Amino acid sequence: MSTQDSPLGTDAPQAAATWLAENFADLVTEHGVPGATIAVLAGGEVATAAGGVTSLATQVPVDSETVFQIGSITKIWTTTLVLQLVDDGLLDLDQPLLDYLPELVIGDMEAAKALTTRHLLTHTAGFEGDIFTDTGRGEDAIEKYVATLTDLPQLFAPGETFSYNNTGFVVLGRLVEVLRAKPYDEVLLERIVAPLGLERVSPSPYEAIRHRAATGHVAGEDGELAPATSWALARSNAPAGSMLAMTPTDLLGFVRMHLDRGVAPDGTRVLSAQSVQAMQSREIDLPRLAGMGDAWGLGWELFDAPQGAVVAHDGGTIGQAAFLRVVPEAGVAIAMLTNGGDVFGLFNDVVATLLTRLTGVELPARPTPPADPQQVDVSRYLGHYADTIYDITVSQDPDGRVWLDRQPKDIHAEIGEKPIRFELVHLVDDSLITVEDYRGIHVVFAFIGSVTSASGADQAKYVHYGRVVARVE
């Protein structure tokens, strides 16, 4: 689909700008979002809008030059740095990772020998993926982080399934450092930010403080939003998305390079056309989950739509949420950055709405529980599952209702996350969904794999909610 073939035709850029001017600020207020900013690329032009404040404490207005954290959208930037290594002949995605990163020592070294860079890029490495060890603020933070992974649990064999993995992207950041012989931040600025002429990209709080910067907001004990007491996560997790900040215009400047087959506005080649295409190509299908795409490419999340494929990624840090949707065939991209409140409601009313208006693509609605859920045999789902983040118990009460109890541990418990109990009903196949919404969405738990219990019964090997958690019985 070309821009001319879109529902708004050649008027798309002006139509987007007009719609944003008339609606965005009001919708930010309506959804209780302290502040947000958006940029829309259509017809080769960028329209922007902003609403609300950077912080409820300071009441400084958000404008189009305000920087927000992009969270895990950083993974697309890290993937780009990795594919540049491929372009330069320094890396083969399918060679053993240990050939390039012999310093890597994890809990299962037999699994490590089978690991490839492709496994890391597609979230199929199989090791525990939510390790947030703070190794300081120095340029060696990522190197030190990788050195702490010696006891990292292996949940499944590399390539067996998809499990969203922050740890894997930190390892990729270290791979970039080793093969470029420079700190990750320096490589990012030198090989992406500078050739694209991006003005406000901030790899850490030290750069972000030079600009008008948004503060994340979290709900207190009374449910009221308040500025978060920390601005960023640990520097050690930077390649996975712990602190990179920018404006949505900067983010679309990066996306435009991907839409232009790897070429910067001044003609500089930043990434080969082959690598751009490889990043957007389907690598692994996902089970039915809440808030995730149908498949994953190299770094990119992929949504299937009859009107055209959508490549995407979202990000979340401490009280900030970022959304990116791109329809390559239409040359349309939307980036929205927020700092708390009903961000999913704002996404539906703004990003999803504009994407349909500009391209005809209708994003799939987030799943909701059926009005009359099918009664199914849940015996293979019941039991205990655990990783380093949560202990999960799935049970059935005498009335036949299914419950999932989730107990946080480690850093999640330390930062105050509370135990939670979800009632589940059948959604589709081996997926159950929460009856009540949680932080604006109904969470889907897919029960995948098969293992035989001591009594000979067939049981689900994993519970999957975007991350895989293994049965521990």
Catalytically active residues are 72
Phi and psi angles of residue 431, each rounded to the nearest 5 degrees, phi first: -110, 130
136: left (phi over 0), alpha (psi -120 to 50) or beta: left
- Which amino acid type is present at position 155? L
Number of helices (H), then strands (E), belonging to the chain: the values are 15, 22
Q: Where are the beta strands (DSSP E) in 292-412?
A: 295-296, 301-303, 310-316, 321-327, 332-338, 383-386, 390-396, 402-408
Distance between start and end Cα atoms, the chain: 51
CB atoms within 10 A of CB 214: 29
- Following DSSP, what letter does each residue of 303-328 receive, concatenated? E--TT--EEEEEEE-SS-EEEEEEEG
Q: Is 400 exposed, middle or buried (0-12, 13-18, 19+ CB in 10 A)?
A: exposed
Smallest Cα–Cα separation from 70: which of 253, 166, 203, 179? 203
- Which amino acid type is present at position 412? H
- Which amino acid type is present at position 108? D
- How many residues make up the chain in this entry? 473
Scanning the structure block, which residue is given the tokens 């099918």?
A: 374
Phi and psi angles of residue 403, each rounded to the nearest 5 degrees, phi first: -130, 145
Contact between 232 and 239 (Cβ < 8 Å): no
Question: Rounded to whole angstroms, how far apart are CA atoms 418 and 408?
Answer: 7
